[in-house]
Amino acid sequence: MATRIRPSSKRCAVIGGSGFLGRHLVEKLLEKGYTVTVFDIRQSYELPGVAFHVGDLCDKQALLTALQDVSLVFHCASPAPASDDRALFQKVNVDGTRIVIQACQERGVQKLVLTSSASVVFEGTDIKDGKEELPYAKKPIDYYTETKIQQEKLVLEACDKDKGFLTVAIRPHGIFGPQDPQLVPILVDTARRGKMKFIIGDGSNLVDFTFVENVVHGHILAAEHLKPDSPLCGKAYHITNDEPVRFWDFMSQVLVGLGYDAPRYHLPYQLVYGIALLLWLVALLLRPLVRIKPTFTPMRVALAGTHHYYSCARAKEDMGYRPPVSLKEGITRTVESYPHLRKGV
């Protein structure tokens, strides 16, 4: 009788593996002896031993080809939040994730680890030491977050021990580190345009910024602890640096590290939020004629002026998570990785 040979548990695929988090994840997986396939709409680098499949995750056939003999899938693909394209978020994060789940099931993949986001519970008001039990945001702060909620629900609901298909979601927050195309570049661009002089609110709001290697560590731990009898099945986990920091202290440390001045003057939060809302409405009304991308969106102002930090106690308890890299070390390594963004260069 022919027996079906299960693919090795060290054969994995990273969907979105050409991105910032994806690439760090691929490098660590290789270091740990995994065989890695990358599936992405673009190929942003080459690495010996990594098979690249360039394709759209909405294309089931392309996914089925890439997932042949794969037993573990990391899904960390998403359009960038800044794209603000509702139809694209719906197509990739929701419809596309349904296709990822189907393709995994058809290919006999045993484990699916989704990169979700801690923002799925954030509504623009303070969250202090937020636990995973917090309800999903009823009024998500943007379309990106709205579709990340639907995506997470789809993946967690697909967990089926009887069918041997296990799923888990990792919720990182404020990922930073070398090669990040968003956080440091946005910050430096804002500073170079002379707009980083102001602190929104009193500057005491605490947030999580999480070093990318810690986020990677959380993903791999989750994959390795995801077993039919483990508590991880169908659950979401916050992965943070476990060191909440004042949003404006973090910004200042990165800016000063790169030779720019730290912001000094305070502006009332409600005033800035109101202006950002007005600008957003104007941009929306003018969209048929001209596409304006304001720096100060309501979402960014909310992120910059409120508390939003999360407890990672559940990840500590269920998978022995501890952040390997401290915030101080993470900031130093990040600043050193951007010599071209230093002031005057």
Ligand X SMILES: NC(=O)C1=CN([C@@H]2O[C@H](COP(=O)(O)OP(=O)(O)OC[C@H]3O[C@@H](n4cnc5c(N)ncnc54)[C@H](O)[C@@H]3O)[C@@H](O)[C@H]2O)C=CC1
Ligand Y SMILES: CC(C)=CCC[C@@H](C)[C@H]1CC[C@H]2C3=C(CC[C@]12C)[C@@]1(C)CCC(=O)C[C@@H]1CC3
Beta strand spans in the chain (E): 11-15, 35-40, 51-54, 72-75, 111-115, 127-130, 166-172, 175-176, 198-200, 206-207, 210-211, 235-239, 245-246, 265-267, 308-310
- Asked if 273 is part of the footprint of ligand Y (rule: CB under 6 A), the reply reads no
Distances from the Cα of 17 to the Cα of 13, 39, 221, angstroms: 8, 6, 18
* Structural tokens at position 114: 């989704």
Residue with the shortest CB distance to ligand Y: 174
Burial status of residue 215 (CB atoms within 10 A of its CB: 0-12, 13-18, 19 or more): buried
Q: Which is nearer to ligand X, 7 or 79 (CB)?
A: 79
- Asked if 50 is part of the footprint of ligand X (rule: CB under 6 A), the reply reads no
Could you say which of ligand Y, ligand X, none residue 178 binds, taking C-beta under 5 to 8 angstroms by partner kind?
A: none
Distance in Å, CB of 44 to ligand Y, minimum: 20
- Asked if 207 is part of the footprint of ligand X (rule: CB under 6 A), the reply reads no
Q: Are 112 and 151 in contact (CB under 8 A)?
A: no
- Asked if 57 is part of the footprint of ligand X (rule: CB under 6 A), the reply reads yes
Q: Are 157 and 144 in contact (CB under 8 A)?
A: no
Could you say which of ligand X, ligand Y, none residue 92 binds, taking C-beta under 5 to 8 angstroms by partner kind?
A: ligand X
Could you say which of ligand Y, ligand X, none residue 252 binds, taking C-beta under 5 to 8 angstroms by partner kind?
A: none
Label residue 234 left, alpha or beta by phi (over 0 means left) and psi (-120 to 50 means alpha): left
Distances from the Cα of 287 to the Cα of 86, 87, 298, angstroms: 14, 15, 17
- Asked if 115 is part of the footprint of ligand X (rule: CB under 6 A), the reply reads yes
Mind telling me the catalytic residues?
144
Instruction: Give the x-and-dash track for 66-95 against ligand X (CB under 6 A).
Output: ----------xxxxx-----------x---
* Structural tokens at position 66: 């890439």
Q: Are 53 and 112 in contact (CB under 8 A)?
A: no
Distances from the Cα of 190 to the Cα of 251, 281, 339, angstroms: 11, 22, 17
- Asked if 177 is part of the footprint of ligand X (rule: CB under 6 A), the reply reads no
Q: Give CA–CA dist 16/29, Å, rounded.
A: 14
Q: Which is nearer to ligand X, 37 or 78 (CB)?
A: 78
Number of residues that bind ligand Y (CB under 6 A): 16
Given 186, 275, 283, 313, the residue binding ligand Y (CB under 6 A): 186
Instruction: Give the x-and-dash track for 123-162 against ligand X (CB under 6 A).
Output: -------------------------x--------------
- Asked if 300 is part of the footprint of ligand Y (rule: CB under 6 A), the reply reads yes
Q: Give CA–CA dist 204/106, Å, rounded.
A: 50
Q: Which stretch binds ligand X (CB under 6 A): 52-60, 103-111, 155-163, 304-312?
A: 52-60
Q: Which residues bind to ligand Y, rule: CB under 6 A? A: 173-174, 183, 186-187, 190, 196, 198, 200, 207, 209, 295-296, 300, 303-304
Q: Which residues bind to ligand X, rule: CB under 6 A? A: 16, 18-22, 40-42, 56-58, 76-80, 92, 96, 115, 117, 148, 172-175, 181
